[in-house]
């Protein structure tokens, strides 16, 4: 990565404003954090700064409050969890900008950590307001972006603060960029990519960008219905992206021309409704009734996908194979996740719900790398520049 990192700048005694991605899942009933992996992923940067006696000011969003204060989306539980993990008290500010916050920042001592309140309580964050970015920048001497998961968005705290402060990458963001760059530039073959989730449109850029780099593409999840439709299969009431059917057909043809094997499901789990009490059955993709919808890949497809993956030396996976939040439609996703530790090679999970499944099964430590950014990783691997990375200083410019 040709961007400066926190290692390239003097931080001792400095007020360091760190954009983190603490958008963690929270139980709506108890307010408890369900998965703290995003918090833990940023520990290397936070601990690096603490050890060098910086005054650490963390900024993050949580959920979609849409510019309003929502008590359920306050960051106090996140600060409490971070305090437990770090073994030191993490303060919580009442807001993320303003005189009161500035006073709280000025009282910080070397090695202290303060978490500011939810950035998205201000609509100016998502609109990319220069004034909001300037107000945030007043709080620090240096800006560190360690929020890869939101670096594809041109929000004020991601792309704007670097206009007013020296801006460098955190250790997590550096690791994300380097890992995903190696995936594109130096994959060990055979290289297999697994794609699932609902939408083809989210992944078109990446599919096109890696088509000449992969040996095999495995397509499951809701997006498989659009590909099956492109092959003139009956997909019943499955949700498809009608405007992407022709695109799917083009991708199938592009895979053929590039020599990549694009493999679709041969059997699927079908149901009337995507509900936990719904009845289901397994059918061939050539026998999907017009009044049923696809909910998961079937056992024959699982076995086909397993066979391809076992021979692979590099695997990238983004998107579940079915409606994994409903137990009877989670078999395909869980089967592939359980296979990952057995593979003899590099295994990279592309964030989002796929990462949540892998973590929930206790397999996080058995995977080479789990990206913290589903959308960001797809944009980056699709060859797009990320606003949050563009805004950082190039090596040798500070």
Q: List residues with catalytic annotation.
A: 38, 199, 352, 375
Count of CB atoms within 10 A of residue 291's CB? 9
Rg (CA), the chain: 22
Alpha-carbon span 350 to 334, nearest angstrom: 16
Query: What phi and psi, each to the nearest 5 degrees, are found at residue 63?
Result: 70, -160
Alpha-carbon span 343 to 325, nearest angstrom: 25
Contact (CB, 8 A) for 218 and 263: yes
Contact (CB, 8 A) for 132 and 125: yes
Bridge partners for 270 per DSSP: 281, 294
Helix extents (H) in 97-199: 99-106, 123-127, 130-137, 171-185
**Coil, helix or strand at residue 80:** helix
Residues whose CB falls within 8 Å of the CB of residue 233, separated by 6 or more in sequence, listed in order: 285, 286, 288
Contact (CB, 8 A) for 153 and 128: no
Q: How far is CA 111 from the centre of its chain?
A: 29
Give the dihedral of Cα atoms 367, 198, 230, 383; nearest 10 deg: -60
DSSP 8-state code for residue 121: G
Terminal C-alpha separation, the chain: 16
Tokens at 298, concatenated: 């079937």
Is the torsion defined by CA of 321, 350, 150, 117 positive or negative?
A: positive
Residue 69 C-beta-side C-alpha neighbours within 13 Å: 5
Bridge partners for 394 per DSSP: 3
Count of CB atoms within 10 A of residue 34's CB? 11
Alpha-carbon span 100 to 80, nearest angstrom: 21
């Amino acid at each position: 990565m040709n961007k400066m990192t926190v290692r390239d700048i003097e931080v001792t005694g400095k007020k360091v404003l760190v954009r983190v991605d603490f958008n963690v899942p929270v139980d709506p009933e108890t307010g408890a954090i369900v998965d703290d992996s995003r918090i833990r992923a940023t520990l290397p940067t936070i601990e690096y700064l603490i050890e060098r006696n910086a005054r650490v000011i963390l900024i993050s969003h949580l959920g979609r409050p849409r510019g309003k204060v929502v008590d359920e989306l306050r960051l106090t539980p996140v600060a409490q969890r971070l305090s437990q993990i770090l073994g030191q008290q993490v303060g919580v500010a009442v807001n993320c900008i303003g005189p009161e916050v500035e006073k709280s920042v000025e009282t910080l001592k070397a090695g202290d950590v303060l978490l500011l309140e939810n950035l998205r309580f201000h609509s100016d964050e998502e609109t990319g307001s220069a004034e909001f970015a300037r107000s945030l920048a007043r709080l620090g001497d240096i800006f560190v972006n360690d929020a890869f998961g939101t670096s594809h968005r041109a929000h004020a705290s991601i792309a704007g603060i670097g206009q007013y402060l020296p801006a460098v990458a955190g250790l997590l963001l550096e690791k994300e960029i380097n890992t995903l760059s190696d995936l594109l530039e130096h994959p060990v073959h055979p290289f297999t990519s697994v794609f699932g989730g609902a939408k083809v449109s989210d992944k078109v850029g990446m599919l096109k960008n890696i088509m000449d780099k992969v040996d095999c593409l495995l397509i499951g999840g809701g997006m498989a219905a659009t590909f099956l439709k492109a092959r003139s299969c009956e997909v019943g009431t499955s949700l498809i992206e009608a405007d992407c059917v022709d695109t799917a057909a083009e991708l199938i043809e592009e895979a053929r021309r590039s020599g990549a094997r694009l493999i679709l499901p041969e059997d699927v789990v079908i149901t009337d409704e995507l509900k936990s009490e719904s009845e289901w059955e397994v059918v061939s993709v050539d026998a999907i009734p017009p009044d049923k919808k696809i909910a998961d890949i079937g056992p024959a497809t699982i076995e086909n996908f397993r066979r391809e993956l076992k021979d692979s030396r590099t695997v990238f996976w983004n998107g579940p194979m079915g409606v994994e939040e409903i137990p009877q439609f989670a078999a395909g996703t869980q089967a592939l996740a359980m296979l990952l530790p057995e593979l003899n090679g590099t295994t990279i999970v592309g964030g989002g719900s796929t990462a949540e499944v892998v973590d929930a099964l206790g397999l996080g430590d058995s995977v080479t790398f789990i990206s913290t950014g589903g959308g960001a990783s797809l944009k980056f691997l699709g060859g797009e520049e990320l606003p949050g990375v563009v805004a950082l200083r190039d090596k040798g410019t500070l």
